[in-house]
Structure 1
Amino acid sequence: MKKFVKAALLAGAAWSAMAGMAAAQDAPSQEPEATVDEIIVTARRRDEALKDVPVAVSALSEERLEQTGATDITALQQQTPNATVQVARGSNSTLIAFIRGVGQQDPLWGFEPGVGLYIDDVYVARPQGAVLDVFDVQRIEVLRGPQGTLYGRNTVGGAIKYVTQRLSPEKELMLKGSFGSFNQVDFLAMGGGALTDTLRIGGAFAKYTRDGFGTNVNTGAEHYNKDVEAFRVSAEWSPNDDVLVRFAYDVMNDDSNPRHGHRELAGALPDGAVLGSVFDTNAGVGDTNSVETQGWSMTVQGRVNDNWTLKAIAARRDGRTDTVIDFDNTPRPTLDIPAYYEDEQTTLEFQALWDYDRIQGVMGLFYLDGHAEGAFDTILGNAGIVIGTGGYVDTTSISAFVDVNFDLTDRLHLSLGGRYTLDDKTGDVFRANYLGATRSPLLGGTPRAPLLLRTDYTNSKSFDQFTPKVALSYDISDDVTGYVSFSQGFKSGGFDMRGDAIFTPNTVNGYDPETVDSYEAGLKGRVGPLSFASAIFYNEYQDQQVTTQVPAVGGIASFVDNVGSSTFYGAEFEGSLSLTENLTANFAVGYLNSDFEEFLRYNLALGVYEDISDQVVLQNAPEWTGYLGLTWNSELAGGDLTIIPQVSWRDDYSQFEFPNPILDQEGFALVDLSATWTYDRYVVGVYGKNLTDEQYRVGGYNFPGALFDNSVIGYYGPPRTVTASVTVKF
């Protein structure tokens, strides 16, 4: 059945493309609702038609997100080729993102993502609270491939840009209520307008609640529930046509219960049994979890003359997470992990944009000052101890960048860019064994001296890198553009916040940056009723940072190694096709092939590094991803009815670099169906998600063995849900 669904999905997408080419001759007047020359993106820090950007970009508009029932940015995974955008294991609002097999799934302080997240032009450095709910959004852009020139460090896989709505000069108010499966009750209010001829204000409030998909059978608490509040206020002041000042402030509170996962292997005692529902747990560490994030930003933009525009962006963000994860999923403290994370960041960016007859570009300076800290306990009941780990990392980053586009002829364009980045990091790591399987003094446990000091150091390192980009594009026709490009990205080095100096003495020296060199060719544009974007790419991944934790004698050993190198290549094809006046097909297909050339792993027993590249794979890198959706529009009872059936496919993929048949996910398809009816000021929607009730893992932990009572646990994506919503606009 799965092979049939996969074949049908990929064949459907390919058929859409071929049908569009054929129909181009017969129906030249038909055009998709949104073509690549009509979609405006800011992938190169300036407004451009998607067709003209020599970057692989997927852009989902507010309308598309609403029509398909997208509730948060994890919906990007279904409609974007070669992308993994999921809720992190053990969390409700922490983000993990991989693009073309490059990313980072470890949310511990000090570890940085490989896919950059931006709210407007503000970089969000930490993944906690980054599963952004979709409201007050104009569009979301997904930039695939290294973005080291314009977006800098930690965009080795790509970047996700959440672009919020500009404020309207008219007074507006929108109220939306949603009700659905598992007692889902959501409320959203948005409004704003002009106070004077030059000043506009706006605000939005959202409340999301839902019962759990499962239950903690030990405590009776909800498991996989949702309890989130979010608030955003903004103001825009424009004294004349040349000056715009924009201010925004947002707050998010997530009090959803922690996700303890589902035990995949039975333990030694009856309370370690594998539960029937994958959403149930038998955890005993507690059900209290809290995530708070907030931030403000101010953008000042002024047009100096017809050719030059200056922009300054200042922002600050901070967050706090208090959580617990029960790795053993039993009432006993076999492997319990209480923790807290705290972070703050200040960023400044200055841009100068210019646009002459045949030369356009942007140059700028960027500064980041960040602090991230935390502590967690590894409570080992079978050993009668707790391993307390805590510390911080301070980061100062400065960079200068430039990106220039030259119109060599009316059809031939050359883009050159480069960025120099300097990072200064200070890491402090403390790790010690304490007697007693209860919380350590680091997390408010009984004060007591360490039984064994494992790590205690403070170290500082600097990392610098120049990341170039060059692209050559040619307008084959007024509607079709082809391009070739080379780009480089890098992710900064750092220190392993779990590092155990007894098991791995070199941990005190930290780890080095990683780089990705990407070679890409693309073709995008419009042919008759077909609007499309395609790309082929070849990447060389050097000094790759891999984070793993493995069972060891008397504890758990952590590694953050520059394991070596890998190469991967692939292709992507996405777009939309107008089949009839009322029917449009949207499709996306991604292919990814990856291999490790070198993977160095420290052998705890021998005390040496070994190349085990023949035993590992790239994690979160399915070979095939696909999407096919049909959008049908019609009039009904004086209003506009839109119905969208859609199916997405993800091929087999591994949760970690080391394949594990218990945790790794086989290929699966998700089938959704949505219907929205718009009448004047009213919008009524019904959204069915995962209608076949597919069970699929999105994460896991692997701690087998007697000491951990076979603590192998999995985390699962949402089951079948149905939601109805009513929106009223005033």
Structure 2
Amino acid sequence: MYPISTRSVLLLSAALVAVLPAPAAAQDAAPAEPSSDAAQEPASNDIMVTARRRSESAQSIPLAVSVIDAKQLDETGSFNVARLQQLTPTLQFYSSNPRNTAVNIRGLGAPFGLTSDGFEQGVGIYIDDVYYSRVASATFDFLDVAQIEVLRGPQGTLYGKNTTAGAINITTNQPTFAFEGRTEVSLGNFDFRQSRLSLSGPLSETVAARVAVSGTTRRGTITNVVTGQNIQSLDNIGVRGQLLWEPASNLKITLVGDYNKQDAVCCGSVFVGTTATQRPLNRQFAALAAAQNYAPPSTNAFDRLSDLDAELRAANVIAGAALRLVWDIGPGTFTSVTAWRYWDWIPRNDRDFTGLPIVIASNNPSQQNQYTQELRYAYTGDAFDFVVGAFAFDQRIDTQGLEAHGPASSRWTIAPNNPLSNDPTVLNGLTARNTQFLESTSAALFGQLSWKVTDAFTIQPGVRLNYDEKRGFYERRVFTGTGTELTGTETDARSRAQLGVFQPQQSAPEDTDWNLTYDLTLSYELAPDVLGYGTYARSFKTIGINQNGLPTDANGVPIAEAGTIRPETVDHFEIGLKSQFWDRRATLNLAAFRTDIRDYQATVTNGQFGVLRGFLANAGKVRSQGVEADFSIRPSQRFTAYVSGAYTDAKYIRFVDAPCPPELAGGTTAAPGQTPSAPGTPGGISPANCDISGQRLPGVSEWSFSFGAEGNLPASVFGKDGEAYLGYDGSYRTEFSSNASPSAATQIAGYHLSNFRVGFRADDGLNLFAWVRNAFDQNYFEQLFVGPGNTGLIAGLPGDPRTWGATASITF
């Protein structure tokens, strides 16, 4: 890692701004070329997208897609995917730290819970055609983005890496042969500082370059009363450079490199409350805390006080390079994208969610190297359009895990009727060291054809052939506080108590799989600017392997057949209507969908300390269905408004052996024929697993909305002509579950967020505005967590309180 700090970027930006030509001088140059084909907006008020790997109108394609341009991203403060979800109601984003991040569309994509390297993401993230396999990249700031397209539904016949739930297609501004640039500085409460700079211009008649830098800092919104630190901070830096060579009029070769670094005091939680479990009463949270004279710093989560005593850190680096060749050959375009991505994750966590030294370290640093190669040919003709491509992917992830217990663990973890529970030395220093790796290789051939049967009717079939190979290794070694390694065969009482927390284990799962999938879309232009379409897609998510250890049988022996999980089989149906009217001043798009997934890849967690972080298993069947509507209106240059809404009914159709919610966990496991106790019965009989068929999927609100408007009037400020404007953006979502198995204790109430901005845009590119986000200081949770050990502890991650500030930018 390079010793680059956000402060350095801020100073660099200020220095560069000072020496840049004044905007008037920049305007004397030749008109700037468009930064990105995807970012052009025709006078017809239409929006151009590259969702189908060619530039076309968003209204002309039979596909549900949301488009957010650079202006909307900048002025709404949507500088990463987490903030993007407030603008796109069908997008769900959950993150307890960068590694444990999930991005879902329509409730599908990745199982809720701690992330495993052993499964694929269902929502693909692509930046300038490069696939980002780690969702951690979604936590970084956007760098010089021109446009973002959120594609809903399977996209495997168009995109290199198969995507079963959708794709986030990000287009950045490209190098130009006319000098242009943009600089922006934002200041706000919580010591928020953000600075951005981009410059582009020619190096010769055939070579152009573009460079962009971004830095963001903010102190945390939660105060740790133990360390005095403000946790949940931001400390991001990003640099992106591009070099474009045009040796001929029909050939473009672009070399891209980027470096992104985070080093935040993150990620923590606050005490939310407790729920009754089936553990004996003296082993539930209230009794255990009282036995050690412990009380949380506040019982009101929105006091935003924490007492986590282990070190917190969320440091990571994502970097890479790509070579992109675009060659116009006759009636079509050949594209080659060769890319390397790197990810280095350096975490520190407190997984007992308390200020007691129970778990004093829970860290799983890892390193990833990813190589991709995509070849694609896109043809556009009078009767036929098509895209054909080939994709290769190779990935290696290495992880070095460490989990250690402290002096408070004995009393907390060992049953009170065991005399060893009163001896703090039994578990103090008990350490599990995990070594694991994953090697993943896949290759695919894919293609999609558009046959224009008539001027109004189009038939669009697609097909994909995919091969996947995964090979993993996991080893856990266990050491006592004195450094003695436990083999798992020890019989003395002290060792058995220690092995009840950590068991040595080794596994090496591997598997291969072939998949053939396909889709068919029919579209018909019902009238000018009115397009109807229907889609059926058979898709899949490839095999998974358990990378964090295997579940064990009644004798503590790892279950080898649980090492791999079956691929998901996806059947997707969708009908939609796209329309524009009032001379294209108004746009109304509707979509209804149903997605059925057999062998859904779910995360199963074990409530005991250290037994497993979580493993993957197949649920029988999952279904997501719903209706979406997007409406926008622009009656004049002085006013725009939009509203988007989604009804999503996402549930487990069949999951008979799911993990139990906390109120049904912690008791004596029911024997065959034995009836489990009622929920929350202390010392009760707990089912071995629970049937959650018919329950809603976690993280999905039944209703979600995004809405906003902006109006402007002519104005003159500082002698500059332009427009004064007032804007509002809001979002609303109903309640959702924050646990893989629904529980009343982890149900998050619905909430509404409102953001305002007021400012002045000058005709020469100056933009000054003040903003306030979560203007009414809504208290809400992003996630709730079930504490380990079935004690009934519920911790949570509060969403940001009201934030405010101001932004100044200039485009030249």
Question: Normalised by the size of structure 1, how large is the TM-score?
Answer: 0.89
Q: 1:412 aligns with which of 457, 474, 477?
A: 457
Tell me the distance in 2 between the aligned counterparts of 1:299 and 1:84.
31
Give the deviation of 1:500 after TM superposition: 3.2
1:67-78 matched pairs, under 5 angstroms: 67-78=75-86
Give the deviation of 1:270 after TM superposition: 4.6
Q: 1:440 to 1:186 in 2, by over 3 A?
A: farther
1:705-720 matched pairs, under 5 angstroms: 705=789, 710-720=792-802
1:296-375 matched pairs, under 5 angstroms: 296-305=321-330, 307-335=331-359, 336-375=361-400
Give the residue type in structure 2 aligned to 1:591: Y
| Equivalent residues of 2:160, 2:389 under 8 A apart | no
Relative contact order higher in (CA < 8 Å, ≥ 6 apart): 1
Give the deviation of 1:437 after TM superposition: 10
Partner in structure 2 of residue 681 of structure 1: 765
Partner in structure 2 of residue 90 of structure 1: 97
Tell me the distance in 2 between the aligned counterparts of 1:74 and 1:356.
39
Tell me the distance in 2 between the aligned counterparts of 1:615 and 1:519.
20
* SS of structure 2 residue aligned to 1:128: helix
Tell me the distance in 2 between the aligned counterparts of 1:167 and 1:586.
32
Residue deviations 1:290-348 (CA, integer Å, cap 9, x gap): 1111011111011111x122111000001111111212233433234122121110000
Question: Which segment is superposed worse, 110-119 or 414-423?
Answer: 110-119
1:220-619 matched pairs, under 5 angstroms: 220-265=228-273, 267=285, 268=289, 269-273=292-296, 275=298, 276-278=300-302, 279-305=304-330, 307-335=331-359, 336-380=361-405, 381-382=409-410, 383=413, 384=427, 385-436=430-481, 453-503=503-553, 505-506=559-560, 508-528=562-582, 529-552=585-608, 555-556=611-612, 558-579=614-635, 582-601=638-657, 612-614=691-693, 616-619=695-698
Partner in structure 2 of residue 701 of structure 1: 785
Give the deviation of 1:188 after TM superposition: 1.2
Q: 1:154 to 1:599 in 2, by over 3 A?
A: farther
Tell me the distance in 2 between the aligned counterparts of 1:69 and 1:597.
38
Bigger proportion of residues as strand: 1
Partner in structure 1 of residue 749 of structure 2: 666
| Equivalent residues of 1:112, 1:126 under 8 A apart | no
| Equivalent residues of 2:144, 2:198 under 8 A apart | yes
Tell me the distance in 2 between the aligned counterparts of 1:456 and 1:681.
61
Question: Normalised by the size of structure 2, how large is the TM-score?
Answer: 0.80
Tell me the distance in 2 between the aligned counterparts of 1:663 and 1:379.
27
Question: Which segment is superposed worse, 157-166 or 383-392?
Answer: 383-392
| Equivalent residues of 1:37, 1:479 under 8 A apart | no
Give the residue type in structure 1 aligned to 2:245: W
Q: 1:300 to 1:440 in 2, by over 3 A?
A: farther
Question: Which segment is superposed worse, 654-663 or 53-62?
Answer: 654-663
Tell me the distance in 2 between the aligned counterparts of 1:348 and 1:476.
40
Give the residue type in structure 2 aligned to 1:405: S
| Equivalent residues of 1:37, 1:49 under 8 A apart | no
Give the residue type in structure 2 aligned to 1:530: A
Partner in structure 1 of residue 665 of structure 2: none
Tell me the distance in 2 between the aligned counterparts of 1:725 and 1:131.
21
Give the residue type in structure 2 aligned to 1:485: T
Give the residue type in structure 2 aligned to 1:363: V
Residue deviations 1:157-197 (CA, integer Å, cap 9, x gap): 11111110122222223221110010111111111201112
Tell me the distance in 2 between the aligned counterparts of 1:407 and 1:437.
74
Give the deviation of 1:453 after TM superposition: 4.6
Partner in structure 2 of residue 197 of structure 1: 205
* SS of structure 2 residue aligned to 1:81: coil
Question: Which segment is superposed worse, 605-614 or 165-174?
Answer: 605-614
Partner in structure 1 of residue 188 of structure 2: 180
| Equivalent residues of 2:576, 2:589 under 8 A apart | yes
Partner in structure 2 of residue 13 of structure 1: none
Aligned positions, number: 687
Tell me the distance in 1 between the aligned counterparts of 2:145 and 2:471.
36
Question: Which segment is superposed worse, 535-544 or 378-387?
Answer: 378-387
| Equivalent residues of 1:194, 1:200 under 8 A apart | yes
Tell me the distance in 1 between the aligned counterparts of 2:252 and 2:215.
31
Q: 1:327 to 1:171 in 2, by over 3 A?
A: same
Q: 1:152 to 1:218 in 2, by over 3 A?
A: same
Partner in structure 1 of residue 805 of structure 2: 723
* SS of structure 2 residue aligned to 1:543: strand
Q: 2:775 aligns with which of 676, 682, 691?
A: 691
Residue deviations 1:682-721 (CA, integer Å, cap 9, x gap): 2112221111111222223313547xx6543211221110
Give the deviation of 1:394 after TM superposition: 0.4
Residue deviations 1:582-628 (CA, integer Å, cap 9, x gap): 22211101001133221032687669986713474211111101111
1:164-179 matched pairs, under 5 angstroms: 164-179=172-187
Give the deviation of 1:152 after TM superposition: 5.4
| Equivalent residues of 1:36, 1:525 under 8 A apart | no
* SS of structure 1 residue aligned to 2:59: helix
CA RMSD of aligned residues (A): 2.7
Question: Which segment is superposed worse, 352-361 or 335-344?
Answer: 335-344
Give the residue type in structure 1 aligned to 2:806: A
Q: 2:125 aligns with which of 114, 117, 128?
A: 117
Tell me the distance in 2 between the aligned counterparts of 1:439 and 1:675.
64
Percentage of matched positions with identical amino acids: 26
Residue deviations 1:30-78 (CA, integer Å, cap 9, x gap): xxx9899721111111111111211110010112212323222222211
Residue deviations 1:106-139 (CA, integer Å, cap 9, x gap): 4333333221111111110012232231330110
* SS of structure 1 residue aligned to 2:116: coil
Q: 1:173 to 1:435 in 2, by over 3 A?
A: same
| Equivalent residues of 2:748, 2:783 under 8 A apart | no
Tell me the distance in 2 between the aligned counterparts of 1:437 and 1:283.
25
Tell me the distance in 2 between the aligned counterparts of 1:587 and 1:34.
22
Give the residue type in structure 2 aligned to 1:346: Y
Give the residue type in structure 2 aligned to 1:655: S
Residue deviations 1:383-405 (CA, integer Å, cap 9, x gap): 41334333111001000001010
